[in-house]
Chains A and B, each alone.
Chain A
Amino acid sequence: MSPVLEIRDLSVDYGSLRAVHDVSLTLEAGEVLGLAGESGSGKSTLAYAATRLLQPPGRVPSGEVRFKGHDLLALTEKQLRALRWSEIAIVFQGAMNALNPVISVGAQIDDVLRAHRPGLTRQERTNRGRELLSLVGIPIDRLSAYPHQLSGGMRQRVMIAMALALEPEIVIMDEPTTALDVVVQRQILGQMMRLRETLGFSIIFITHDISLLVEFSDRIAIMYGGRVVEEAPAAEIYRAAKHPYSQGLLGSFPALRGPRRELRGIPGSPPDLRSMPTGCPFHPRCPQAMDVCGERMPSLDSVDERRRVACWLEEVHV
């Protein structure tokens, strides 16, 4: 496998506060990379910064995002606009507010085609719109519907159809199913994975629901306080998470399959950007905290070929 997207040492500041610290992640071709963490862990900020969608006062002071030999952060606006959606599309929380309420969904799909495929005729664009809707299982006569006439699940499917309009290389899904009920969640994600197999794109899947990631992603990176604290194949995270935070996160969600486990949750609340703890940001909530944890930040080191962990416990084991 070869990497399609490489994030190198990316940091994000909001004013004088650092929301993301030197994060490096690689997305391999055709894989689903899960990005998990509580609210405020920096997972969405990281994705928006990497795609240059960060709104002021958000700022990227350092880092690099390699895509097809370019650094996305160094492209001009024009180059970037040509690349948006045709190479990297984003599925937002479509069930909520990601669709323009006063324009029909057909027109919103049409928008993309008109901006990126100026050669298409009106008829060709309409046909493509119908094709995309049937791809996600929506009756094609809904092309002229407005977002408020569709259910939450249908809106999310429209969002997916729109993301696939230009057959992108990468699809970023930011909490794509958070506002939907569990049954619809699984239908939509299952459909997305089947589409990925036929169309062959890579996915970055951002959610706080780690049980979904365990089920649907190949690799999971767990973020805490703006840093990646553990990164490993999904099955290994599920079977034997190394970082106490990953363990806590896994213990907070019921798994749909597998043996019954006790739900534990994580005591305390996520750290405040304005008053980050010294040392490892997780140590005040960590059940296995040691003296060193409050003093120095552990680095994200490879434990084996496929796993990286940032925890003093690992250093001790070595």
Chain B
Amino acid sequence: MTFLLRRALFYLITLWAAITANFLLPRLLPGDPVQAMITKLGGRLNSDAMASLYVLFGLDEKKSIWEQYVDYWGALLRGDLGLSFTFFPTPVADVLSQSLPWTLGLIGVTTIIAFLLGTLMGVYAGWKRGSWMDTLIPVTTFLSSIPYFWLGLIAISVFSVTFPLLPASGGYAAGLVPEWSGEFVGSVLEHAVLPGITIVVSSVAGWILGMRNMMVTVTAEDYVLVARAKGLSEKRIMFAYAARNAVLPSISGFALSLGFIVGGALLVEMVFSYPGLGYVLFQGIGAKDYPLMQGVFLVITLAVLVANLLADVGYLLLDPRTRREG
């Protein structure tokens, strides 16, 4: 238990450091948000409007960096991340809370599917070494070596242009209002098929390869031979003895990839114009939308920390050797 407490403390310190860096970085950049806004709107602002913008962003008071830091924390704890430039005057928190579910839904679910599918295939490929399963590996590796945006574009050109089976972009059909209706949910699923499948296709190879190689290593261990000598069933040896030990490195890889769900969504959502966090970040970067970028980075940091915590807990549960007694 003390181990978990110590880990939790470590994560709190990391979180504090990340948030502080998130506060400092934009302030180290030359210029200020109002300058950026003025440049963006290009001379269409008169001096009164500029002055009110300075007031709006709280930049008129010439506060010390320390006061700004305290204000920043206060705002953060209230869930106030400032206003977005791109979607002005929508608060950043609202932009994030609208786009985050799309990213978690699409990339989160497909990451889990790719992990489960790839690991299971890796277990069989490693156990039945030299069977037809081994021919799958070069094929999936080839697919994953294709740059993602290229794979996505090919998928769009084949499945929504040449054979118009699936929609090419967006999270749901235009004209629908987000609600819990069969029509809307159906549309969401339909729009998720193409990006979802391309994500699984491009990421499954890593899981297969990693799991297969660990299976091959573990199968040579004495305890697998003992399990066989004990006359246990093939299934029991494969899962409880070989795969149970072989999966440990994949588990930490999986937890890390959960952390990259939010950050890794960028390419997928750009290619498919998917209304998630990555697409928002893409728009934010294009518009030099600092508050929005800061907000997205904060979410990414939190996601990575949570994923690491999950990896720690998962390892504690799965590998008794990492538990510290007493």
- A residues whose Cβ falls under 8 Å from a Cβ of B: 51, 53, 55, 80-86, 89-90, 92-93, 96-104, 111-112, 115-116, 146, 148-149, 162
Residue of A90, A93, A97, A103 near B229 (CB, 8 A) is A90
Task: Give B96 Cβ to nearest chain A Cβ, in Å.
Answer: 40
Given A102-B244, A103-B244, A115-B236: A97 touches B223 (CB 8 Å cut-off): yes
Task: Give A290 Cβ to nearest chain B Cβ, in Å.
Answer: 42
Interface check B225, CB cutoff 8 A? yes
A82 near B231: Cβ-Cβ < 8 Å: yes
Closest B residue to A93 by CB, please name it.
Answer: B222
**In the bound complex, CA of A97 to CA of B225 (Å):** 10
In the bound complex, residues from chain B placing their C-beta under 8 Å from that of A97 are 221-223
B222 near A51: Cβ-Cβ < 8 Å: no
Task: Give A142 Cβ to nearest chain B Cβ, in Å.
Answer: 13
A100 near B231: Cβ-Cβ < 8 Å: no
Closest A residue to B242 by CB, please name it.
Answer: A100
**In the bound complex, CA of A97 to CA of B220 (Å):** 11
Given A146-B320, A148-B321: A111 touches B222 (CB 8 Å cut-off): no
For chain B residues 13-51, which have a beta carbon within 8 Å of chain A? Answer: none
In the bound complex, residues from chain A placing their C-beta under 8 Å from that of B222 are 92-93, 96-98
B236 near A111: Cβ-Cβ < 8 Å: yes
**In the bound complex, CA of A59 to CA of B228 (Å):** 17
The digit string for B304-322, where 1 denotes a CB below 8 A from any CB of A, is 0000000000000011110
Given A93-B222, A98-B223: A51 touches B229 (CB 8 Å cut-off): yes
Closest A residue to B318 by CB, please name it.
Answer: A102
Closest B residue to A77 by CB, please name it.
Answer: B234
Interface check B188, CB cutoff 8 A? no
B231 near A86: Cβ-Cβ < 8 Å: yes
Closest A residue to B223 by CB, please name it.
Answer: A100
Residue of B229, B245, B318, B321 near A89 (CB, 8 A) is B229
A100 near B241: Cβ-Cβ < 8 Å: yes
**In the bound complex, CA of A149 to CA of B320 (Å):** 10
A81 near B233: Cβ-Cβ < 8 Å: yes
Closest B residue to A116 by CB, please name it.
Answer: B231
In the bound complex, residues from chain A placing their C-beta under 8 Å from that of B228 are 53, 84
The contact sample of 26 A-B pairs, CB cut-off 8 A, is A80-B231, A81-B231, A81-B233, A84-B228, A85-B230, A90-B226, A92-B222, A96-B222, A97-B223, A98-B222, A98-B225, A99-B226, A101-B319, A101-B321, A102-B245, A102-B248, A102-B319, A102-B320, A104-B320, A111-B240, A112-B231, A115-B232, A116-B231, A146-B321, A148-B321, A162-B230
B245 near A101: Cβ-Cβ < 8 Å: yes
In the bound complex, residues from chain B placing their C-beta under 8 Å from that of A84 are 228-231
Given A100-B223, A115-B236: A53 touches B229 (CB 8 Å cut-off): yes
Closest A residue to B321 by CB, please name it.
Answer: A148
Task: Give A48 Cβ to nearest chain B Cβ, in Å.
Answer: 8
B236 near A98: Cβ-Cβ < 8 Å: no
Task: Give A110 Cβ to nearest chain B Cβ, in Å.
Answer: 11
Interface check B227, CB cutoff 8 A? yes
In the bound complex, residues from chain A placing their C-beta under 8 Å from that of B229 are 51, 53, 84-85, 89-90, 92
Task: Give A107 Cβ to nearest chain B Cβ, in Å.
Answer: 9
A92 near B321: Cβ-Cβ < 8 Å: no
For chain B residues 205-252, which have a beta carbon within 8 Å of chain A? Answer: 220-223, 225-233, 236, 240-241, 244-245, 248
- Name the residue in A102, A103, A149 with the highest tally of chain B Cβ atoms < 10 Å from its Cβ: A102
Closest A residue to B232 by CB, please name it.
Answer: A115
Closest A residue to B244 by CB, please name it.
Answer: A102
In the bound complex, residues from chain A placing their C-beta under 8 Å from that of B318 are 102
Task: Give B225 Cβ to nearest chain A Cβ, in Å.
Answer: 6
Given A102-B318, A103-B240: A112 touches B223 (CB 8 Å cut-off): no
**In the bound complex, CA of A51 to CA of B319 (Å):** 32
In the bound complex, residues from chain A placing their C-beta under 8 Å from that of B236 are 111, 115
Task: Give B320 Cβ to nearest chain A Cβ, in Å.
Answer: 4
In the bound complex, residues from chain A placing their C-beta under 8 Å from that of B227 are 100, 111
Task: Give B147 Cβ to nearest chain A Cβ, in Å.
Answer: 38
**In the bound complex, CA of A111 to CA of B318 (Å):** 18
Task: Give B100 Cβ to nearest chain A Cβ, in Å.
Answer: 36
Residue of B230, B245, B325 near A111 (CB, 8 A) is B230
In the bound complex, residues from chain A placing their C-beta under 8 Å from that of B226 are 90, 92, 98-100
**In the bound complex, CA of A84 to CA of B230 (Å):** 6
Task: Give B226 Cβ to nearest chain A Cβ, in Å.
Answer: 5
Closest B residue to A84 by CB, please name it.
Answer: B231
Task: Give B289 Cβ to nearest chain A Cβ, in Å.
Answer: 48
Task: Give A167 Cβ to nearest chain B Cβ, in Å.
Answer: 14
- Name the residue in B220, B222, B230 with the highest tally of chain A Cβ atoms < 10 Å from its Cβ: B230
In the bound complex, residues from chain A placing their C-beta under 8 Å from that of B223 are 97-101
Closest A residue to B320 by CB, please name it.
Answer: A146
A85-B229, A111-B236 known, 17 other contacts, Cβ within 8 Å: A84-B230, A85-B230, A92-B222, A92-B225, A96-B222, A98-B223, A98-B225, A100-B241, A100-B244, A101-B245, A101-B320, A101-B321, A102-B244, A102-B320, A115-B232, A148-B320, A162-B230
Task: Give A73 Cβ to nearest chain B Cβ, in Å.
Answer: 16
In the bound complex, residues from chain A placing their C-beta under 8 Å from that of B220 are 55
In the bound complex, residues from chain B placing their C-beta under 8 Å from that of A85 are 229-231
B231 near A83: Cβ-Cβ < 8 Å: yes
In the bound complex, residues from chain B placing their C-beta under 8 Å from that of A82 are 231
